[in-house]
Structure 1
């Protein structure tokens, strides 16, 4: 078990939520700290002291202390003003660690906390990971001159991307922004989403929840809940609500929950004054209720009371409130941005609309309000999705796995952590670290993937013997692996003279890929080819280090719809592809290069086994002596092989 310091300079786990600077990051830090402690780790949360009565060290929950850092005046300050205080923050932490002992790892939250962690790493050699929660270049793109952070933020974030031992992206869009805008090394990015706590958010009876809140139990209720800042798009929610209710002519009510205090006074929360004016302009002032902030214990009733939850920010690094609404069985109407487009499945758990488009919002809201049965189905699907993929327990387990991998690197390459005067680690240390990581991953994969590799080869042989063909696809390096695999089986791998085998790489037709992606979009570029070539009895092999690529997921969905067996080489948690794979091979690592290297080995082994069986005339059936984890079922129903029971698997995220 590890001793971990969570650094969160402006977002305390003790803060009341809903104010200008109190929202998702506060929840993230609080829940991660709690659940890491429940896993047996010891956690200290370092946050700036923003009130005079706060003790320096506070025992919060078992295994978690909150350390209030004396940096600047003991009062609330806008986070935009905190950068000059980070030197004092760093000095306090260094002194605190000198007295109470060093931590195994620092987990920084937000870029200013990252600056503290990076400086402590240089001074003391402590490794750090960072969750940015929001990226400065993305914020500036969307907010322009309204962005109050200094331009220094960009250079600091670029430094953190270079120096962090791991960067925790919260969703695929966050990962893409880190790569595209900051040139982040994909090998050091791991995607771990946010979550919800099932003990805190579960469905309650809608009618009973409304009665407890003093609402009309028979009135249609739409909910918007979160921080009252302009980029959250609450004005668009009001305008969309007005359009939908005018169109339907129903007596609905919009609840707007959030603010700097329980009193919805514009003097206390200036944004509320602007929003009240928007409601008046739209003619729905009497049907929009501004509640002010509410205690977290009461939020379950608000989520449960709503027929639809709206979250339509201009941009959103992740977005925790949609998860909480889904956990209460409420469908979400969300903006197609950031993490919301990852957590909300359009048409299944709710609906997605373009940001800053109240007309589209009103149209989709009207559709949902007019169809109670559809809302009920969506609410149930939403509940199942978050319970399966997004829990704080699962988040903590994945983070603990990241910490473990970083710790192993430190133990193997101690010289790499002695960063003198800002110099990078020696090249030979980086080489040693990479070999050590690969050896560790191969050791785990050797025991966990053997039956899956044998079963995969058997399924491919069975496909060929019944007259079927194999389709294979992937992106980037996995695209090259797909073409390599096809070439080995169409041509030969080791055994000369055997017959050519029908394998088509869907990544090899550059005319199809570029024409379709340019004219239509890249999301369906493989699914379209599966529709064209796939027949019942065929097999689709997908290769993805994350399992979250939309075009890979779409291809697997198209395959299952056509009775095509799905075989997937994956890594990390397996992503959405894991549940679509009849035969999943999940590499027990979150390190992209190591996953790719094991994928290549697995593909070579599959080629060797397939060639041997084809050349020897082995009857086309799967092995009969597989472990209990391997089970046989028809294609397109439940998986042919269960996911491996590794520490990477079983993370309920």
Structure 2
């Protein structure tokens, strides 16, 4: 369904210049989210304050996205700390816009607390539900900045109201969720963790030598990078001091590139901050090693990320922080402060290092270690690229946010509540299936290999396989037999002798009628089985008496037995020579994993029969684990990758 959305971002326009004191991650977030939502079919209006006389009221930005420049306050830059008095006008404009344009929005997504105030007031007037992304929390800011925080105290009460009235709240990392619950008493059921993202077409690894040539940087020097807003809380002074320690304590010379802001900025705070940082560099004796590049066009940032050996970001606190993700996407390891979103995006010892804020000695120690271990630095680069692309693309992020939108819209439309319940059920069932598959993948690999080897040996030596089970397991037994007799993937092989004991309805009904159903499989095992054959029993509980009795007879004949079970395995677990026990107590999830196991057994046996030299006993185990990884991985995720436990910490919906 095509929906119309309003994104409110009162001070951070997608047109904002990055690196300024009030321009940064929120500008990127709003712009990228709007573009990707439009690509998914949504119609998006971005409401942002008009801060220049040349800006039109309504501007088409990209297909499906309009920028609405709201006349609230003077048409010039106003510090975000001073914008609250203009929010009543902002709200009034949005209400009039909806009436004048006869626009009906399905949902509002507010960004930052003043936008949340507008959304909450619009909801009261028009009943439009809203989703909230705070991007930063006032109580957290006041805790870290104290008197330097110039936002009005009214912010705290407004944020309390927003947390109570929002239909859903997007926390950008686990720390954000914790702060919302502890400091604002937000309802945990309304909070969904969805991180920020990056655009892979915008940030990708470039050749380091070529990136340095493009920027005029020395080809063989050690280069460090700091990129972001020029404000004291970003801790750029800590990075400068760390370079001094690296040079003086570890005799490891390097250059630090600082990108962001410059002395010509309209805000004197940037000029003051750059001057302060230059004074610190002079104080610690490394002025010639710190290069202030000022603002850079966004399309140039990937050159800076790619040119650097390490990206360093050590703020006092950080609600999320997009720059570490952008750096990792360009293949640059990150040393980051162990705070907020950074400790979520950067994996310590895997894609870089986490250090305490305000501790330059710790940064220098990590840098020195990395420069002494070039292979580790290279490993971090590869792992950084992998993590960024696996978890933090805007496509992934927007998909999660769109799912949240649909849930919120449905919850506010009573006629769709049955749909909500159905979608929640779908999510729960998929989540349960994925958990069962993932756990089975971790626990059953060796057992699957052993079972496949036994079946392969049976066929190689002229034996046959009998299969039995009840209900859905009966169908699985017939399915498995059909794959063995016919083919699974390889057509150029003979049929494998396999027979499902559930397939002959005349035998089943006659024997069950005359002698009882508990013996229907045992009687057939007596008739068809012999030493060297294999009996496969499929059961979700392991307590089916007709399967138990069949196993007892098979063992007396010298046959080998394989049980594919769930739960605690019941009696069959003790009777089986080989047991594949699905670690789940839910029958439907057990059956879902059992069919994956059956397919794995068919493929492995087929591979080994066609290429006998690759039988388990003749090749390292690791070679065969790849087949299981490949098949279970495909069952878990469409792209063939397993779902990692550190991905989105809370399921959407």
TM above 0.5: yes
One of 409, 416, 424 as aligned partner of 1:441:
424
What residue is the counterpart of 2:181 in the other structure?
179
Please list the CA deviations of residues 212-250 of structure 1 after superposition, one character each: whole Å capped at 9, or x if unmatched. Answer: 111111111111000000000000000011101212323
CA 1:304 to 1:627, structure 2 compared with 1: closer, same or farther past 3 Å?
Answer: same
One of 390, 393, 403 as aligned partner of 1:391:
393
Deviation of 1:182 after TM superposition, in Å, equals 1.0
Tell me how far apart the structure 1 counterparts of residues 109 and 22 of structure 2 sit (CA, whole Å).
Answer: 20
What residue is the counterpart of 1:63 in the other structure?
64
Q: What is the correspondence of 1:149-548 to structure 2 with a 5 Å cutoff?
A: 149-260=151-262, 269-412=271-414, 437-443=420-426, 445-446=428-429, 448=430
Determine if contact 1:312/1:356 at 8 Å carries over to the other structure.
Answer: yes
What residue is the counterpart of 2:636 in the other structure?
643
Question: What SS is found at the alignment partner of 2:72?
Answer: coil
Tell me how far apart the structure 2 counterparts of residues 644 and 169 of structure 1 sit (CA, whole Å).
Answer: 25
CA 1:302 to 1:461, structure 2 compared with 1: closer, same or farther past 3 Å?
Answer: closer
Please list the CA deviations of residues 300-348 of structure 1 after superposition, one character each: whole Å capped at 9, or x if unmatched. Answer: 1111110111000000000101111111111101000001011111111
Please list the CA deviations of residues 37-86 of structure 1 after superposition, one character each: whole Å capped at 9, or x if unmatched. Answer: 11111111000000000000010111111100000000000000001111
Determine if contact 1:247/1:366 at 8 Å carries over to the other structure.
Answer: no
What residue is the counterpart of 2:503 in the other structure?
none
Determine if contact 2:224/2:255 at 8 Å carries over to the other structure.
Answer: yes
Tell me how far apart the structure 2 counterparts of residues 102 and 391 of structure 1 sit (CA, whole Å).
Answer: 30
Tell me how far apart the structure 1 counterparts of residues 369 and 444 of structure 2 sit (CA, whole Å).
Answer: 47
Deviation of 1:461 after TM superposition, in Å, equals 12
CA 1:410 to 1:9, structure 2 compared with 1: closer, same or farther past 3 Å?
Answer: same
Tell me how far apart the structure 1 counterparts of residues 208 and 312 of structure 2 sit (CA, whole Å).
Answer: 17
Deviation of 1:269 after TM superposition, in Å, equals 2.0
Question: What SS is found at the alignment partner of 1:379?
Answer: helix
The alignment yields a C-alpha RMSD, in angstroms, of 3.2
Rg bigger for which structure?
Answer: 2
Determine if contact 1:49/1:75 at 8 Å carries over to the other structure.
Answer: yes
Determine if contact 1:265/1:272 at 8 Å carries over to the other structure.
Answer: no
CA 1:636 to 1:363, structure 2 compared with 1: closer, same or farther past 3 Å?
Answer: farther
Q: What is the correspondence of 1:547-566 to structure 2 with a 5 Å cutoff?
A: none
Which segment drifts farther, 152-161 or 367-376?
367-376
What residue is the counterpart of 1:79 in the other structure?
80
CA 1:123 to 1:624, structure 2 compared with 1: closer, same or farther past 3 Å?
Answer: closer
Matched, 1:610 2:567: yes
Matched, 1:21 2:14: no
Tell me how far apart the structure 2 counterparts of residues 302 and 252 of structure 1 sit (CA, whole Å).
Answer: 15
Determine if contact 1:457/1:610 at 8 Å carries over to the other structure.
Answer: no
CA 1:454 to 1:180, structure 2 compared with 1: closer, same or farther past 3 Å?
Answer: closer
Q: TM-score, normalised by structure 2?
A: 0.69
Q: TM-score, normalised by structure 1?
A: 0.69
Tell me how far apart the structure 1 counterparts of residues 435 and 365 of structure 2 sit (CA, whole Å).
Answer: 49
Please list the CA deviations of residues 416-457 of structure 1 after superposition, one character each: whole Å capped at 9, or x if unmatched. Answer: xxxxxxxxxxxxxxxxx6x874454125545x4686688799
Determine if contact 1:43/1:65 at 8 Å carries over to the other structure.
Answer: yes
CA 1:40 to 1:90, structure 2 compared with 1: closer, same or farther past 3 Å?
Answer: same
Deviation of 1:403 after TM superposition, in Å, equals 0.3
Q: What is the correspondence of 1:571-650 to structure 2 with a 5 Å cutoff?
A: 610=567, 613-614=570-571, 620-621=579-580, 626-627=594-595, 638=629, 640=632, 642-643=635-636
CA 1:248 to 1:72, structure 2 compared with 1: closer, same or farther past 3 Å?
Answer: same
Determine if contact 1:169/1:189 at 8 Å carries over to the other structure.
Answer: yes
Unaligned 5+ runs, structure 2: 449-564, 583-589, 601-623, 649-653
What residue is the counterpart of 1:532 in the other structure?
none
What residue is the counterpart of 1:49 in the other structure?
50
Tell me how far apart the structure 2 counterparts of residues 13 and 630 of structure 1 sit (CA, whole Å).
Answer: 52
Tell me how far apart the structure 2 counterparts of residues 341 and 449 of structure 1 sit (CA, whole Å).
Answer: 26
Tell me how far apart the structure 1 counterparts of residues 401 and 248 of structure 2 sit (CA, whole Å).
Answer: 47
Paired residue total: 489
What residue is the counterpart of 1:573 in the other structure?
none
What residue is the counterpart of 1:38 in the other structure?
39
Deviation of 1:368 after TM superposition, in Å, equals 2.0
Determine if contact 2:9/2:110 at 8 Å carries over to the other structure.
Answer: yes
Tell me how far apart the structure 1 counterparts of residues 169 and 100 of structure 2 sit (CA, whole Å).
Answer: 29
Deviation of 1:184 after TM superposition, in Å, equals 1.1
Question: What SS is found at the alignment partner of 2:280?
Answer: helix
Deviation of 1:650 after TM superposition, in Å, equals 9.1
Deviation of 1:264 after TM superposition, in Å, equals 12
Determine if contact 1:240/1:365 at 8 Å carries over to the other structure.
Answer: no
Determine if contact 2:263/2:274 at 8 Å carries over to the other structure.
Answer: no
